[in-house]
Structure 1
């Protein structure tokens, strides 16, 4: 190695103007893939698109089909779209498969779609299909035109990464959706490329894996059993990088300008600097990625500091990997402590002391990267995933400069371990352009009058019919509702207990049911929590922070759940929870006292549950372990609350997010079901057994029928509750990544021992020797019934309540027998 060159900054008058250091350099060789297939579908010949050579598939042995597929040309070609591979396509009304002979290892799969109408009657709007590769579902009921329209693009390009085992071929199957007739599948181009081992997967030597954001000392491993979908890949602060300018893996790197939300984020170009790829392989990212940077600038003063922020729309319901690329090049940075900053992902602290110079072992001009995993749950189709870099401001203790920077970014979706799926929903169709009426003005007025009369008549008819239906329903179910209300013990915050005289709490007219629960002003909420003092914080969830507060002259403790200020990500759940809980009262449901919706604050106020969540008392905690009888009584209470939702309320309600953290415990250990943000009114009508809706819920608790077919039923809650029963029995979470594969999934692990008659091998060690065998058998049999794949075969929540009560009686009978025998002795 020899010293070469002097680096000089160009561009803006920011922190990098004084670059003049000398850096070590080594030769940067491109990666050479072992397998490289670039297929132009429906084409006969060889073409070059400026980046790579495409081979037509018409004479290839790569594809197989149930029925003959069709090759066709696009009826029209956009001037902005490359002719290769987008002019021709392979299309079919039945399944067809491409099968690639590849070496074992991890591969890029890149799919190219041009959604347009094709020869032989293939209409643009009728392309709905599913794409699978080996054991993974890449796309489900995918419509390329909806996705292209949502992206304001003529084409759709999607990149995946999967692992191919020894002796396997890489198969890609395209299957038209069965949701209606005359739907077809198509593909324009396919690219299969080998990649370096463990470039994005977790190295088997790296026991820790990716840091799992928002979970203390938790890590996530991306094993060969996982697949990835590339969501974003950015050359931060720089220009687009074409595939031919990558490192041999033909990746495209885009400019990040459309996703930066901080106006002071400055791009800086460092073209003259020569870099040293010593800590990361030189194919990790192309050299230009590390030559451009987006930075806050070290000249900022304390009162001008803000976050360096990006926001990215992603599908909810998946875990995402974020790879952040860094290269420290500033001449002012000398000491390891000179530039330290925070990293927040999805508004959760991912790195408290990000120190690039330390990560590069004190060397400048040396690229490094950091990987993080974050779980995205929620009820919306799209979630706004944020990345924020915030300068440290404690100058004397941590850092010499107020700065944060980033060179490159990659974001990947990770396949769901239960279904091996990477598929998300299609975007909603764009609204049609407003039609211009051609009627004369006079005719329009007459038409408008007739419309108003028709609407009024329809409303009157609808009201009469609704009154008859409600009267019938109330007559049929009134007794159940009255019984449930009597069981509730009527919390002092129930609607019938609201004061009829002057209240200290305000009410206001809005779309929320303030006549059924109290409205709190933001000043009252701040007073109750000492202005959201962290001392009062008792929990953190996907919604935001939870505080313990006091109302009514500091005499009544309450739980105050505060949506992240200014966020609209939970607005739907906020409204749903108010509408649901304000009309539901039961001993085993958390009582909603009121809400606040003021100054961009969305806050819910509940009865305070002194003992926290059920999970807090069964694993991952320092709390004393619960006895078996305590666990049974808690499960019975939670099951009764769910039974009330399913059968006792005016409408059957599906909770949709049953899990051990949504079962809360009060001072007397009474279980109460909480968190109704995802709840849905269940199917109505004799002929309806389910509702079709987008999959929402929590990882590890999802009903397979619901996840695969989007069919939500009351039995979906039963399945999730079955997982809770196993948590209670075994004292462990639904999924563990730190154990062998056969033990990772709780229900599969227990199912194996249950089928072998060795269920006692799965029992929480703190319960060993305390559970009566009869009680254990009844409890485990019931849990397995709840987890049956066929929802129709699962018990109802009423049957679950009965089964748990019977398991408790068996336990008490065994204890009484033992006590009597000891007494006789």
Structure 2
């Protein structure tokens, strides 16, 4: 017999029906069975007595089937006596006890008829299996079933006790996945197997300190970037509220500690996520993720807003703990999510600041996390022969149908090709989808990107942009944390230097994660086709070993937002600098909209996606949400809403019809952001001031906009320049896209606002009204106007040209001039 280092232990919690617990009273288990298996004596652990199943008191729980008691004398004396003995269930009774080697055990476990473990082979070391299930009958049967002719099962101890009826409820769980977030129902009918139970930001909690005798372990080993998190705690008891979490959901110690964003660390950007990776069963296995929250960091209600991500998907946006805890601070709650694991075998949980957070209140917290596997109850029961037959027949018929569909598709494809040969047609961008990178030697993670419609990479793919993982490791000193310059939903961004001494920004997606795959593909597709002074250039990419890495030109001074209000240490931008930055960004956007047959719509224009180089030249960045615009015979693209809160075009949001005027609206918000030096959304302000666009428009209509501009600019802006700038921003924010100017017109007006600032002459500027959409707008040429220094936005031409106003406006205003 050999039992050393092979220890198993089963805990079975079952939900007691019709049991209602008051939040103020302690929960007491009505049924509590603690069995020490194979022992001749009772055992004690955590002041709890386990009854021997060999005594008259304990044997009443053991069935009449033959089993064997085993004792291991080789375990250290200090090890818990509970694990010194085991009950063995052999397949054949003829086997002798001394022939058992527990390393070769192979068995299944059924609880109340549910197969909770299949072909289970215990590995070395202590192992505790915990299951939670709902029991309707008065008798609970646990069966250890040996597998194979010489198989046998064993168990050291069994715990069975009741949990509160509301421990797992059927409502409120959020199913998170690529299709968004929907409600998951009938959760209590599932069998749950505990995988992880984490006390985030705290120490280990032993069963002695938990009303349901659970163990909670610290979160440090699961943190992806430890410097992004900072421990926080309180000394007083949490404020439990009726309808919130109870001590049975999680003990006090879990809700009294948390991890919050470490905004004090010198290498952390102003916006980042705290991320944990938890190993789980791979391959689409469904899990319940229970997250515990208790706002122990806020000084007032409605102070904390943050977002929750699971496996890269948005799981809870703009989470306001105050609204969920009946407006009581430090009040425990929990939120249940249901997610599927991917092939990486990792469930990733992230929390980060919401768009509703102001620059001074950006924070996110997490107090505890539990991950439980949903045991496949319907598939775990024995399937009758007739049902098996239908499954088999269904599979065969399904295969035949799929084969027929493939044949039909091939025939239609051949027919279409013949038609195309007879009548050649220009191939539009919309007809060509993403070509998966793995066709050119990438990883198996590559797949078709939903909703992306851009040119294919051509016969040679993107080989010219490939950078090896080894070169990127060298450039970033093996992803040295001291080189981190930012972080976001996609992953960390590192500063690096390639072999040719070129400075780069390396954006590394979380290895093996699904998050950001469509954005990864879209960025490569777009940026590999365009080059422009005011667009961030893609240096290369890497897709090896399940890595998704994008390498960009390094933009020295970072996001525009930081220079307006994002962080201390930046000198205020002058009005001329702000105008030049807006003009540069407008040039980049104008090129996107007009540089291709269909144009490209960015969809996420905001101050964090406009970067500044060492000379404060603006570069538009982050094309992960971009997509091709409508064809010439179309007015819009019908697509799901994407963008950032506060910058989102309301017409696009209502109708889900995307045009380039959606970018114009977002850019209008940026213009007011530049002028007023405040966030697009600031929930800490009075109600009428929360939304910058609405607030600025009100003051603009009053003719009193100078009352809300950046105090640094007061008295430093020529009135005519401010007037032209604010009128341009106001037009961008028109309610309907048809009333908004084109980016070409926005660019013209911003150029003119700069001319007014620099010139003593203040003539009446050009106005892009609907009556001037014809080519004869060239009659409005003004001496000293910006027509003489408008850039021709070609791929490789970044210099000023000497083209006339007629040529300029035939391109900007006439659709066919593109």
Rg comparison, structure with higher value: 2
Q: TM-score, normalised by structure 2?
A: 0.48
Q: TM-score, normalised by structure 1?
A: 0.48
